[in-house]
Structure 1
Amino acid sequence: MSTKNFLRIGVFYDGTYFIMAQNYFWGKKYGWLSVQEFHKLLESFVRTKEQGHVSYKVVYSAFFQGVHKESAAQENNLRLDRKRHLDLLHAGIEPKNVPMSETQGEKGIDVYMAVETLQIGLDDKIDMAILVTGDGDFVPLARALMKNGVRVLIAYFEYEDENHKSFANERLVSAANHSVNINSLENDREFKAEFKTIFRQPTDNKKAKA
């Protein structure tokens, strides 16, 4: 059972969605979006929305990502996937790698993420679920979690570059208790300083500045 003093947070990543955001920030020279520091930012944001608790802590997190057959994936992508896998483990995030189906594609991953996330909520392991996604397919998940007493925050990225436009489905945002456009925090008076801390700079750049 949860207590009023401690809000248990679970973070559930739509892996493809988050990876595209990482690549966007990296391409714009912000640095590498660090999941460890990202969790701290989320805890700080939740504190402003769910008042009345002494402590706010991410107690569980999972990263759902489709895995291609090696023959269908470029060697460079496989290397990056392995590196990301190690980063997730180091941050205490459970990688949930789902074999990609030619018929279902990303839909199969979405279903798996929804089932796993709902089970964590039903098992009373968390008080709040943060869904890192903008996909409207997760509206039923948000509603099911809330129906079972789990608060829901949608953490999404809103940006546009030459290759991709990222946003959150309006129905998904409306279905949740709270939502946050992470990009908007860059200019937010309360969070802009902490926003800068979620990016890890390349080692080479650090040496160059020394």
Structure 2
Amino acid sequence: MPHTARQLTKIGVFYDGNYFAAVSRFYKYQHRQHAWISIRGLHEFIRCRVAKSERVDYHNCQIIDAHYFRGRFSAQQCVEKGEHVLFHERVLDDILMRANVTAHHLPMNAMGKEKGIDVWLALEAFELSTYKHFDVVVLVAGDSDYIPLARKLKTLGIRVMVLGWQISYDGPNGEPKGTTPSQMLLTEVSYPVLMSDLIDGAASAEGADELEAVRSLFQPREDQSESASTDGDPPLWKPGKIAAQKRGYGFVEPGNLFFFYGALVDADFEDLHEGMEVTFQEGLGRDSQPAAVKVRTEQIGQ
């Protein structure tokens, strides 16, 4: 059946977990963003970019499968390393679970290196692509080892998008560190996207929707999610209603305050509708402008 007749554009996302973790740590600790990359925000960006690249409607672009591959320390190794390693791994599991991302792990070797995880990613991506008939496969990766996978997927008529980052920073002892995506990999795929250029403004987003998705790639900073109140009291929940709903963001009355879908406390974004009664907390958004930093459909007193 032709793709246009199917209407739905099916997207499969595959994370090289070690690569993504290194990039996310960079934005948390070295970049001026000082925030983790939001997986939900990244998925929203992926849908926007695929819709533009495939020239299809955004609402018909759906991520139907997402998988995260990374090596993992054994329980005993975690105990020996200390520093709450087990706790942090559980936090990551919770994040992936909430974002509907399936985690795949292989044990670290004695030197603390992951071995075979990229091969497993490639095999799973190819098998799932043949079984679920993805239209677009998105690789959050930068290694040239994935070139054979990209070539194999193209023989199936599947377009491949790569999200890569070019980052550099100084290590603890002043040594240069960073990562650069394989240029051969970027050349091989249908849709190469250099995320670092988009985030830093060196490349332009493709349309207003994608621009907002780029701005929403990061988890809100704690100092920006507090209420504008300065008296130390917890932020108040105020009654309001949905004034407008766009692709992944909306506005709340009174005040016509912006909110991103990540601000929702007890509902999915698709469950909202204009005029719907909500309660919200007012604070400062990512541009230090007044915004609804938390929104819930549960009414005051319930």
TM-score normalised per structure 1: 0.90
Deviations 1:92-133 (CA, angstroms, capped at 9, x unpaired) = 000111222448943410111111111011113411100000
SS at the partner of 2:170?
Answer: coil
Name the counterpart of 1:145: 153
1:172-187 counterparts in 2 under 5 A?
Answer: 172-186=185-199, 187=201
Q: Is the 8 A contact 2:73 2:112 kept in 1?
A: no
Number of matched residues? 210
AA at the equivalent of 2:149: L
Deviations 1:27-59 (A, max 9, x none): 124222110111010111112211145621111
One-letter amino acid of the structure 2 residue matched with residue 195 of structure 1 = V
Does the CA contact (< 8 Å) of 2:109 and 2:115 recur in 1?
no
1:158 aligns with 2:166: yes
Asked if structure 2 preserves the Cα contact closer than 8 Å seen for 1:154 and 1:179, the reply is yes
Structure that is richer in helix per residue: 1
Range with greater deviation from structure 2 (192-201 or 16-25): 192-201
Match of 1:135 in 2: 143
Give the secondary structure class of the aligned counterpart of 1:95.
strand
Residue 22 (structure 1) shift: 0.9
2:67 matches 1:62 = yes
> What is the alpha-carbon distance in structure 1 between the residues aligned to residue 20 and residue 132 of structure 2?
26
Q: Distance in 2 between matches of 1:200 and 1:103?
A: 32
Aligned in 2, Cα 1:140/1:107: closer, same or farther, shift over 3 Å? farther
TM-aligned CA deviation for residue 202 of structure 1: 3.9
Give SS of 1:201's match: coil
1:22 and 1:111, CA in 2 relative to 1: closer, same or farther beyond 3 A? same
TM-aligned CA distance change 1:124 to 1:104, over 3 Å: farther
For residue 7 of structure 1, what is the amino acid of its counterpart? T
Shift of 1:193: 3.4
| Farther-moved stretch of structure 1 (75-84 vs 198-207) | 198-207
**Higher Cα Rg: structure 1 or 2?**
2
Give 3-state SS (helix, strand or coil) of 2:15's partner. Answer: strand
Percentage of pairs with the same residue: 24
Query: Structure 1 residue 157: deviation in Å?
Result: 1.2
Cα distance in 2 for partners of 1:40, 1:2 equals: 25
Q: After the TM superposition, which of the residue ranges 11-20 and 50-59 deviates more from structure 2?
A: 50-59
Instruction: Give the match's secondary structure for 1:199.
Output: coil
TM-superposed deviation, 1:72: 2.9
**Secondary structure, aligned partner of 1:66:** strand
Q: Distance between the aligned counterparts of 2:127 and 2:55, measured in 1? A: 26
The 3 A distance-change label for structure 1 pair 198 and 149 is same
Q: Any gaps of 5 or more consecutive residues in structure 2?
A: 172-176, 229-282, 284-302
Counterpart position of 1:106: 114
Residue 26 of structure 2, aligned match among 7, 13, 24 = 24
When the two chains are superposed, the root-mean-square deviation of aligned CA atoms in Å is 2.2
